Structure formats: structure tokens, C-alpha cells
């Protein structure tokens, strides 16, 4: 029996509702797969922690529970009543857990959804880009000073990268690329014609790939060119996009915008390419208001099964169950879509249908093992 401890952080906005959908999926896995047992504990996080009387958006008890867990799921962040303190809690959590590698796959969970893109379907249905974004360095964590007094007072932000920060991230991208046969191409994105950190980036990445991943095709692209390609010919960047924190933040949102809803994707923050604890989030973690589509947290679970928990069969089963739930009626027999992607199902109806498909997939894994 594998006992896995999951720290679940409901947090703000749609987070608490997403957390309840996450529990349904985790429960199904442990009920159906008798060799897996999840110990799911919930902890205060974000504006909700402050609301509950904690003195910080990331309370010590929460951080400690996350440190001891096999994986952490953060469901939502952001509460205007507390300014930027909730977001700071998320940045501190990423840094304290040492989760420097942000993995963001951008892909239609069912290619039939390409019809709903703002782009022409045949130009984007094969989109398959995975961001490997540096997450605990760069301008996010560099020295900063707010505008000083006086009419022309300056504000300052600094981007700082060390060789080892770049080296370890390049290794995550390289070993991720090597999991595919043939290895996926890696597009390293920088602003090498302007920034010193980008020149260091380009030279370290080149070195790491030459020495350690000679079989992986490596291309260097300037960040402005990458932005243009994401709008003009996004599939030309298929493969892995390896980049620093701020570029990755911006470009991954741009790429995700090719999909018809922000709720279709998830984001993982890891300490290495496979195994090891990780932090899993909806791609868009700041959504407020009533929950329309719970898919983001289900995608986060699929990433968690694949990377931190090393349960690839269950992860693949979940990916198939998601696809079958979304695929159009003509192909499969049922299709349950939420209103953000042109359907009329509620979030609960979506999850219920998904659980049925996923149960079937999990039973198939059981039978194959006998």
C-alpha cells in the first residue's frame, strides 16, 4: 500500500469549491485503486488565512504541513481586502518549498475544443507547448525599491540570476525533453541583445545541453520574437519553452490565451523533473466569483500524479477521462461541457461525468494488473 500525504490549500476566490472537486477525484483513486491511499489535510492559506485570524497569508503551520507532504495543491489566491499579502504568501510558499521549476503544459485537453479558439482551429489544434519557467528567482525575488519621494522619484526592480539557478532549470528541461522519443525540441527564450542575465542564461543553457543532453534539439529565440510566433504560428514553438521567471509568466499566459477558457490548464512547481514533492495549482489561480468549470484543478491532479507521485498509469487514465468527457457526441456518445466552453453543464455535472469515465479507466488499470 502506498500512503501519500496531500496538503490541500483551498485559499481564496474559487479555491474552496475547487478543493472539494479535488477531493472527489482523489477519493475515487483511493477507492478504486486499492494499493493507493491518500491522506488529505486542509490548511489555511491566502486571504482566507488572514480572515480566519492567522497573522500571515502563509501561516507557519501551513508551511510545515506542506514541507512534510508528498504534494501540495494550492487552489486559489487573491483577496483585494488584504492588498498583495495573499500573493506574497504564494511566492513565499514556492520559494520555501524550493519549487524552482514551473511546468505549464499548453495543449487542448480535447482537440475538438480548437473550434472554440480565437485562432483558426487548424492552425492551433496540434498546439503542444510545455513551459519550463524559472520560478524562484529573477525580478520576482530581486532587490526592489518603491518610488522615492520627490517629483521624479525612481522605482527600482532588479533581475538577478546565478549560474546554478540556470543550470538546475536547464537540467529539468533537458531531462523532461529526454522522456520523449524522439526527444522534444527545447526553445530557450531570452533577451540576450539587452540583458546581462540573458547572456548568462544563453551561455549556461548552451553548455548544459552540449554536455548533458546532446540528443535534444536546442534553439535560442528572443522573447519578442517568441511573442510574435505565439500569435502568428504558435505550433512552431511546439516542444519545451525554457525561460526565466517574468518572461515565462507573460508568455505562458499569452500561449494559454489560445485556448477558449482559462480553466482548462494547470501549473506545477517542482524541485526536479520527476519524483520529489511539488506544488500544484490551477493555471489561473486568481479567479473570483462562482465556479463555472472545475477542470483546472483536475488537470492539476493529473500533473501531480505524473510528476510528484510517479503514478503515470493513473495520470494517463485521468487525461483520457478528461478527453472523453469533453469530446463531442458524434465521436463518443456523451459530452459534458461547462458554459465557458459552449456547453450548459454545471461544475458539479462536469465532475460527476468525469468521475464515471475515470472510474472506468482505473478499473482497466486494476484488470491489467491481475
Give the angle 103-76-261 at the CA atoms, nearest 5°: 65
Active site residue 140: yes
H/E stretch holding 30 reads helix 15-32
Active site residue 190: no
- From residue 60 to residue 99, the character string flagging contacts with ligand IPM as x (rule: CB under 6 A) and all else as - is -----------------x---------x--xx--------
* CB hemisphere CA count around 242 (13 angstroms): 31
Number of residues that bind ligand IPM (CB under 6 A): 7
**54 versus 249: smaller Cβ distance to Mn ion:** 249
CA dihedral 249, 251, 253, 259 (to 10 degrees): -150
Active site residue 348: no
Closest contact distance (angstroms) between CB of 13 and ligand IPM is: 11
- The binder of 90, among ligand IPM, Mn ion, none, by C-beta within 5 to 8 A per type, is ligand IPM
In the list 12, 249, 314, 327, the residue contacting ligand IPM (rule: CB under 6 A) is 249
**Three-state secondary structure readout of 158-203:** CCCCCHHHHHHHHHHHHHHHHCCCCCCCEEEEECCCCCHHHHHHHH
**87 versus 306: smaller Cβ distance to ligand IPM:** 87
Q: Is the peptide bond before 182 cis (omega within 30 degrees of 0)?
A: yes
- The binder of 87, among Mn ion, ligand IPM, none, by C-beta within 5 to 8 A per type, is ligand IPM
In the list 54, 190, 249, 306, the residue contacting Mn ion (rule: CB under 5 A) is 249
Determine, following the binding rule CB under 6 A, whether residue 303 of this chain makes contact with ligand IPM.
Answer: no
Residue partners of 274: CB distance under 8 A and separation at least 6? 175, 179, 307, 310
**91 versus 313: smaller Cβ distance to Mn ion:** 91
Neighbours of 261 (CB within 10 A): 20
- For residue 368, with 0-12 CB atoms within 10 Å meaning exposed, 13-18 middle and 19 or more buried, which class applies? exposed
Annotated catalytic residues are 140, 191, 224, 249, 253
Report the interface residues with ligand IPM, using CB under 6 A.
77, 87, 90-91, 249, 285-286
The site for Mn ion (CB under 5 A) is made up of 249
Amino acid at each position: 500500500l502506498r500512503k501519500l500525504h496531500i496538503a490541500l490549500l483551498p485559499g481564496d476566490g474559487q479555491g474552496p469549491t475547487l478543493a472539494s472537486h479535488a477531493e472527489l477525484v482523489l477519493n475515487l483513486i483511493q477507492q478504486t485503486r486499492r494499493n493507493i491511499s491518500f491522506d488529505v489535510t486542509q490548511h489555511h492559506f491566502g486571504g482566507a488565512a488572514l480572515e480566519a485570524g492567522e497573522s500571515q497569508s502563509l501561516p507557519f503551520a501551513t508551511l510545515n504541513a506542506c514541507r512534510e507532504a508528498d504534494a501540495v495543491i494550492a487552489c486559489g489566491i487573491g483577496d483585494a481586502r488584504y492588498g498583495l499579502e495573499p500573493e506574497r504568501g504564494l511566492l513565499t510558499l514556492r520559494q520555501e518549498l524550493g519549487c524552482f521549476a514551473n511546468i505549464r503544459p499548453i495543449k487542448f485537453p480535447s482537440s475538438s475544443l480548437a473550434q472554440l479558439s480565437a485562432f483558426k482551429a487548424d492552425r492551433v489544434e496540434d498546439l503542444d507547448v510545455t513551459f519550463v519557467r524559472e520560478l524562484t528567482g529573477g525580478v520576482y525575488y530581486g532587490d526592489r525599491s518603491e518610488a522615492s519621494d520627490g517629483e521624479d522619484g525612481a522605482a527600482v526592480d532588479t533581475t538577478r540570476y546565478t549560474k546554478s539557478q540556470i543550470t538546475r532549470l536547464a537540467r529539468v528541461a533537458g531531462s523532461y525533453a529526454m522522456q520523449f522519443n524522439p526527444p522534444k525540441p527545447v526553445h530557450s527564450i531570452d533577451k540576450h541583445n539587452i540583458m546581462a542575465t540573458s547572456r548568462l542564461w544563453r551561455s549556461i543553457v548552451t553548455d548544459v545541453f552540449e554536455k548533458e543532453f546532446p540528443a535534444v534539439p536546442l534553439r535560442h529565440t528572443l522573447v519578442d520574437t517568441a511573442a510574435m510566433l505565439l500569435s502568428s504560428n504558435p505550433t512552431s514553438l511546439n516542444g519545451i519553452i525554457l525561460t526565466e521567471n517574468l518572461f515565462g509568466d507573460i508568455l505562458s499566459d499569452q500561449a494559454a490565451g489560445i485556448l477558449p477558457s482559462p480553466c482548462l490548464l494547470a501549473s506545477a512547481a517542482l524541485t526536479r523533473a520527476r519524483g520529489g514533492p511539488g506544488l500544484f495549482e490551477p493555471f489561473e489561480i486568481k479567479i473570483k466569483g462562482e465556479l463555472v468549470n472545475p477542470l483546472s484543478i483536475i488537470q492539476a491532479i493529473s500533473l501531480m500524479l505524473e510528476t510528484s507521485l510517479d503514478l503515470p498509469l493513473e495520470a494517463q487514465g485521468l487525461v483520457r477521462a478528461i478527453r472523453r468527457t469533453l469530446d463531442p457526441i458524434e465521436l463518443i456518445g456523451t459530452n459534458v461541457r461547462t458554459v465557458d466552453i459552449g456547453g450548459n453543464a454545471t461544475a458539479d455535472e462536469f465532475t460527476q461525468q468525469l468521475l464515471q469515465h475515470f472510474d472506468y479507466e482505473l478499473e482497466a488499470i486494476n484488470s491489467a494488473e491481475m
